[in-house]
Chains A and B, each alone.
Chain A
Amino acid sequence: MRSEAGGRRPENTLTIYEKSREGRRAFVSPELDVPEIPISDLLPSDLLRSEPPELPEISEPEIVRHYNGLSKKNFDLDTGFYPLGSCTMKHNPKLNERVAALPGFSRLHPLQEPQYAQGALELMWRLQRQLSEVAGLPHVSLQPSAGSHGELAGLLLTRAYHEDNGEQRTKVLTPDTAHGTNPATVTMSGYEVVKVGTAEDGGVDLDDLRDKAGDDTACLMLTNPNTLGLFDRNIEEIARIVHDAGATLYYDGANLNAVLGISRPGDMGFDIVHFNLHKTFTQPHGGGGPGAGPIAVSDRIEPYLPRPQVVRREGANGHSEPFFDLDFERPKSIGRLRGFQGNFGVFVRSYAYICSVGGDGLKDVSETAVLNANYLRARLAEPGIAEYLPIAFDRLCMHEFVLSGRGARDKLGIRTLDIAKRLLDHKVHPPTVYFPLLVDEALMIEPTETETKERLDGFADAIREILEEAKEDPEIAKNAPYTTPVRRLDEAAAARHPVVRQARPEAGGRRAEGGAPSATPSPSI
């Protein structure tokens, strides 16, 4: 297999700091059109910086080449299939980028007074109405910055609700299949995590839930469909148990892409929902953000929503036109979760997306996402694959499904990680691996609605090929990948002796202590 690797040429891995040369520049300062007062007259010397920060000295063409070069070392959604489970890697429409860049949005100052920001506030209000309709819950706050921030909002709202009712509840229930953000958020919110088990069919274990839901329970956090891609058939009973205990029911919207126009969290009995605009509503992921995590809530939770809230005032100020405003007068509000009005640029993209597909299109989105997932599930249940990668729960799935790599491990001696790495050589992003935790050697696959049947077939073929190849020689997968900009990286070394910044240049061009690990050829600056 080394021959395949033989085609790789060593690539430039210098950082931008290592490309710096004294005297180069990209920035030219605007003209000084005011008196040149000595800096020492304007700032006391003990507050002045003595040495400039070691930022690079580099020209514009070289900056562009540097980042262009780096971009080519990334695999991305516009290049190929990205079935990363629970991440909803659907196409990011190009129109959204164009409208988000309109100066009326992108150049609008966050403290602009509402009378001069009517278009922005109206857009936010309209998005709130759209999300409310999708959730089946009457009130929306757009403020949280991402899914986990929405979760935090949800638990702070839960706390405010119980406190307002004179109750001090201490525990939050999360299923053992939950995303890690759920338990982490519980702790940050000052609550204690209580895990609820999973039943034979992949849903919540109702007996366990009945045992654990009590008058100290503040909330149950659930995603439905769950992280196994299964819709919990007992959702009504779950809601009954939780509400009878006096707790709130929280919907983690990570998997909302399965149920648009099909079933609304509000109708399932949820009190609080968060959306991931960067999953369901096409905000590009940006290599790790930005996103946005708006929340929708029921009437009983509404008084506590974060402030400010975007509102529409009918015919205010003597105008017949409605006036869109920021409402700060919310005495029971949990307060702010961040600065200003939230990730507005994300709202513009998601609003444009929802307008583009419309009510009919949203339902088509979920139907196609579920069709694609089930089709791929069926393709991967064919002989030659299923004996190595059996499905974890053999039912119709929703928008995603989970396979177990235990067959491949036991029969072929390759692990899920090896399959994932070998997929990289097939120019496909691997599924989410080793999650959810209760499935041995898990592969979690979410194709999304924007993929064609041919792409799904191509993925199934790649999996089959990898397994067949492993029957002949498991070492191929175990040492994959071969065609990527780098091969398997030493993550243990990175964690044992963390090098988390570029070393500063020292006199004589040597890199300072704490620079690159000794195994790295040390490029001179």
Chain B
Amino acid sequence: MSRYTSATDADRREMLDAIGVGSVEELFRDIPEPVRQREPIAMPDGMAEQDVYDHLRALASRNRDAEQEVTFAGGGMYDHYVPALIDSILQRSEFLTPYTPYQPEISQGGLQVMFEFQTAISELTGLPVANASMYEGPSSVASAGYMARLDNGRSKFVVSRGVHPNSRETLATYAHAFGSEVVEVPLDGRGATHLGALAAAVDDDTSAVILQQPNFLGTVEDLGPLAEAAKRTGAVLVCAVDPLTLGILRPPGEFGVDVAVGEGQSLGNRLDFGGPSFGFYAATEKFLRRMPGRIAGETVDVDGKRGFVLTLQTREQHIRREKATHNICTAQALNALAGVIYLSWLGKRGVVELGELMLRRTAYAREALGAELVNPGPVVREFAIRLPNLDEVCERARAEGINPGHRLRYYYPEYEDCLLVAITERRTRKDIDRLAEIVQGAREEVHA
């Protein structure tokens, strides 16, 4: 008997009698002999709880996490502070252990959270409708592409090279299946989407144009002219946005963006080596009935009391089946809860204050590091620098317990000797000065 089951021998006998069979073995008589597993599962026997804990702790200790080092790593997920109240609320079993709210009468908590989450995403993005979560960022970008394809039937996606490389690759993976082509628009010499190239790439067969704000290098794109060029032939304009910059950046809805998607990790979710976090999906009213995923809506019960339900379910796979707008079922409700708690904690003023703090510390860091800027235009919390002695810098930083940032060479061979540096509110001036010292120390050595 494993510790999570509780049938005693006496129970088992009584239950088998009630069923009318002689043994548990007999319950499996429908399984043909040739497909039976004859050998025991090739795995050690179960372990005591404390032994499992010790084993996992030993594995955890072989990672260098953001408590042990000063990290400047970003690239889609960031070392922001997660307030303690999130841990406390997320561990409540009433949020942690129910299924998707199929029975609204006993799921009002989860449903109202979804409604509040949708509201927060709508506020941040400046778009009127949002769903209750997607898996994460890059697959949300791909899902927006799929919706555009269903909407206009056109077969080409025009995507900026400033969109997260994982998003571009995920979009290409999905697009291949439903027969769409992906055309990439290069970045210009200042690390921003090349406007002329974008305008030239968009034609009558363009289903969607996909941008990211700020882009992967941290550049705040000049969305006005890009949006105008993107929408010239009636394509759906999709913008992946970093939600934590939207306290200070003009929201995508004000630029004519049709669909804003993104990665929600920076909103109160752990780093977790990349997941689980949540994706979000907001759109103009026109796409309400074409959106993927769960949507909570407000209504009343038979007594006239306010309540919330999953609504517009006829879009979804369990009803519309092969004609569904998407196949998504289980999404990331608990992570979205963390997101809405975080945004409530930050509040209307905090989201601006935090944005301004990141903006100023990042400006300070760009100055202090004194390196060549790959993207000299406006940025919020992330930027790329060129360091001729990058290996040296990384080695020294690591030796001092600093993760200097993400090396761009794998996803951007054109930025071979470049480093992507993220400055969250956790990176103090002291931290930045330490990194600057390493960068400058390494440079002096080269010059000496």
Do A and B interact directly, with beta carbons closer than 8 Å?
A: yes
Query: In the complex, A71→B247 CA distance in Å?
Result: 28
**Chain B 88-127 interface mask (CB, 8 Å, partner A; 1/0):** 1101111111111111111111101101101110111000
| A75 x B98 contact (CB < 8 A) | yes
* In the complex with contacts A55-B348, A498-B297, A335-B327 CB distance below 8 A: no
Known: A290-B332, A486-B307. A356 touches B45 (CB 8 A): no
Rounded to whole angstroms, the CA-CA distance of A370 and B305 in the bound complex is 42
The winner among B36, B56, B104, B146 for most chain A CB atoms within 10 A is B56
- Interface-lining segment among A207-215, A259-267, A402-410, A461-469: A259-267
Cβ of B441 within 8 Å of any chain A Cβ, yes or no, is no
Interface residue from A58, A104, A151, A371 paired with B24 (Cβ < 8 Å): A371
Residue B447 at the chain A interface, CB threshold 8 Å: no
Contact A355-B52, Cβ < 8 Å, known A287-B98, A486-B104, A520-B306: yes
**Residue contact A37 to B360, C-beta cutoff 8 Å:** yes
Interfacial chain B residues near A70, Cβ < 8 Å: 108-110, 112-113
Structural contact, B222 and A47, CB atoms closer than 8 A:
yes
Is A340 touching B166 in the complex (CB atoms < 8 A)? Answer: yes
Beyond the given pairs A26-B344, A29-B425, A47-B220, 5 more chain A to chain B contacts, judged by CB atoms under 8 angstroms and listed by A's residue number, are A47-B222, A109-B273, A145-B136, A152-B174, A519-B304
Given A47-B222, A338-B136, A481-B105, also A74-B119 (CB < 8 A): no
**Assuming A35-B364, A63-B85, is B319 touching A102 (CB within 8 A)?**
no
A102-B57, A156-B177, A356-B3 known; A287 vs B107 contact (CB < 8 Å): yes
Chain A 480-493 per-residue mask, 1 if CB under 8 angstroms from chain B, else 0: 01001111111101
Task: Check A500–B333 contact: CB distance below 8 A.
Answer: no
Contacts of A500 in B (CB 8 A): 115, 118, 129-130, 288, 295-298, 311
Q: In the assembly, what is the distance between CA of A371 and CA of B9, in Å?
A: 12
A380 and B300 CA atoms in complex are apart in Å by 35
With A146-B328, A287-B101, A360-B40 known as contacts, the answer to whether A335 contacts B173 (CB < 8 A) is yes
Inter-chain CA distance A40–B343, complex, in Å, is 24
Contacting pair A358 B344 (CB below 8 A): no
Within 8 Å CB of A276, what residues of B? Answer: 330
User: Given contacts A98-B53, A287-B333, A494-B311, is CB(A32)–CB(B357) below 8 Å?
Assistant: yes
Question: In the bound complex, do residue A118 and residue B63 qualify as a contact, i.e. CB atoms below 8 Å apart?
Answer: yes
In the complex the two chains form, what is the Cα distance from A284 to B90 in whole Å? 11
Is A99 a contact of B305 with CB atoms below 8 Å?
no
Give the docked Cα–Cα distance between A425 and B62 (Å): 50
Please provide the chain A residues from 307 to 360 with a CB less than 8 Å away from any CB of chain B in the complex: 328, 334-346, 348, 351-352, 354-360
- Known contacts A104-B62, A346-B276, A491-B309: A109-B170 contact under CB 8 Å: no
* CB–CB B312/A495 < 8 A: yes
B299 in contact with A491 (CB, 8 Å)? yes
Q: Please give the distance in Å from B171's CB to the nearest CB on chain A.
A: 9
- Contact between chains at A120 and B317 (CB < 8 Å): no
Which residues of chain A are within 8 angstroms of B340 by Cβ–Cβ distance?
Answer: 16
In the complex, A25 has a CB within 8 A of chain B: yes
Residue in B53, B115, B139 whose CB lies within 8 Å of A145: B139
- Stretch in contact with the other chain, from B14-22, B193-201, B202-210: B14-22
B302–A111 touching, CB < 8 Å: no
A117:B298 contact, CB within 8 angstroms? no
Q: Which residues of A contact B303 (CB under 8 A)?
A: 5, 487
A494 x B298 contact (CB < 8 A): yes
Q: Is the CB of B46 within 8 A of A360?
A: yes
Contact, CB under 8 Å: A29 / B116: no
Given known pairs A189-B178, A336-B173, A365-B2, the reply for A43 and B359 (CB within 8 Å) is yes
Give 6 nearest A-B pairs by CB, closest first.
A104-B60, A340-B274, A286-B334, A110-B274, A119-B62, A358-B46
The interface stretch among B183-191, B229-237, B248-256, B384-392 is B248-256
Q: Pick the contact of B104: A30, A351, A451, A489 (CB < 8 A).
A: A489
Nearest residue, chain A, Cβ from B169: A336
The winner among A42, A116, A193, A486 for most chain B CB atoms within 10 A is: A486
CB-defined contacts of A352 to chain B, threshold 8 Å: 52, 56
Do A285 and B99 contact each other (CB < 8 Å), given the known contacts A106-B270, A112-B73, A156-B177? yes
Are B357 and A145 in touch, CB under 8 angstroms?
Answer: no
Closest to A233 in B: B30
> With A and B bound together, what is the CA distance between A35 and B47 in angstroms?
55
Cβ of A438 within 8 Å of any chain B Cβ, yes or no, is no
20 contacting pairs across A/B (C-beta < 8 A): A43-B248, A55-B120, A55-B350, A67-B337, A92-B97, A104-B61, A107-B65, A110-B76, A110-B275, A133-B42, A156-B173, A289-B135, A291-B330, A328-B410, A337-B139, A357-B46, A364-B5, A372-B15, A486-B301, A514-B128
- With beta carbons under 8 angstroms apart, the residue of B49, B58, B101, B136 that contacts A339 is B136
- Interface size (B, Cβ < 8 Å)? 208
A91 interfacial contact with B, CB 8 Å = yes
Interface size on A, residues (CB 8 A): 212
Separation in Å of the B250 CB from the closest CB of chain A?
5
**Residue of A286, A351, A358, A449 with most chain B CB atoms under a 10 A cut-off:** A286
When the two chains form the complex, which single residue of B270, B299, B333, B410 contacts A493, counting CB atoms closer than 8 Å? Answer: B299
A524 contacts across to B, CB distance below 8 A:
none
Is B352 interfacial (CB-CB < 8 Å)?
Answer: yes
Whether the pair B324, A187 counts as a contact (CB closer than 8 A) is yes
A71 to B272, CA, bound (A): 25
A72 close to B62 (CB less than 8 A): no
Q: Which residues of A contact B27 (CB under 8 A)?
A: 367, 370-371, 374, 396
Contact A501 B327 (CB under 8 A): no
**Which of A77-85, A241-249, A295-303, A383-391 is found at the contact surface with chain B?**
A77-85
A58 B166 Cβ-Cβ under 8 A? no
A54 to chain B, nearest CB (A): 5
Determine the distance from Cα of A262 to Cα of B415 in the docked complex, in whole angstroms. 53
**Contact in complex: A147, B276 (CB < 8 Å):** no
**A429/B327 in contact, CB under 8 A:** no
- Whether, in the assembled complex, A46 has its beta carbon less than 8 Å from a beta carbon of chain B, the answer is yes
Whether the Cβ atoms of A335 and B49 lie closer than 8 Å is no
Check if B286 is an interface residue, CB within 8 A of chain A: no
Given A29-B353, A372-B7, answer yes or no on A64-B89 (Cβ-Cβ < 8 Å).
yes
Complex Cα–Cα for A292 and B272 (A): 14
- Chain A residues within 8 Å of B371, by CB: none
How far is B272's CA from A108's CA once the two chains are assembled, in angstroms?
6
Residue contact B349 to A57, C-beta cutoff 8 Å: yes
B99 contacts A355, CB within 8 Å? no
Q: Nearest CB to that of A55 among chain B residues?
A: B348
Of the candidates A82, A268, A486, the one whose C-beta lies within 8 Å of that of B105 is: A486
Once the chains bind, are B52 and A356 in contact (CB under 8 Å)? yes
Flag B46-88 by CB within 8 Å of A: 1 or 0 each: 1101001101111111111111100101011101000101011
B175 vs chain A, min Cβ distance (A): 10
Q: Which of A16, A25, A104, A288 contacts B116 (CB 8 A)?
A: A16
Q: Is B369 an interface residue (CB 8 A)?
A: no
- B271 and A110 contact, CB distance less than 8 A: yes
Partner of A334, one of B20, B173, B334: B173
Known: A42-B359, A378-B20, A519-B304. A133 touches B43 (CB 8 A): yes
- Determine if B376 is an interface residue (Cβ-Cβ < 8 Å): no
Q: How far is the CB of A279 from chain B (nearest CB, A)?
A: 9
Contact flags A100-143 to B (C-beta < 8 A → 1, else 0): 01111111111110001111101100000010011010000000
Report yes or no: A355 in contact with B18, Cβ–Cβ below 8 A.
no
Residue A361 at the chain B interface, CB threshold 8 Å: yes
A4 to chain B, nearest CB (A): 13
Bound complex: CA of A340 vs CA of B311, how far in Å? Answer: 32
| B413 is an interface residue with CB less than 8 A from chain A | no
Q: Does B409 contact A (CB under 8 A)?
A: no
Provide the residues of chain A in CB contact with B40, threshold 8 Å: 261, 359-360, 363
**Residues in B neighbouring A109, C-beta threshold 8 A:** 65-66, 71, 73, 77, 79, 271, 273, 403
> B266 interface residue, CB < 8 Å from A?
no
**A residues 16-34 in Cβ contact with B at 8 Å:** 16-17, 20, 24-27, 29-30, 32-34
Chain A residues with CB under 8 A of B296: 500
Interchain nearest-CB distance for B163 vs A (Å):
12
| Chain A contacts for B20, CB-based, 8 A | 378
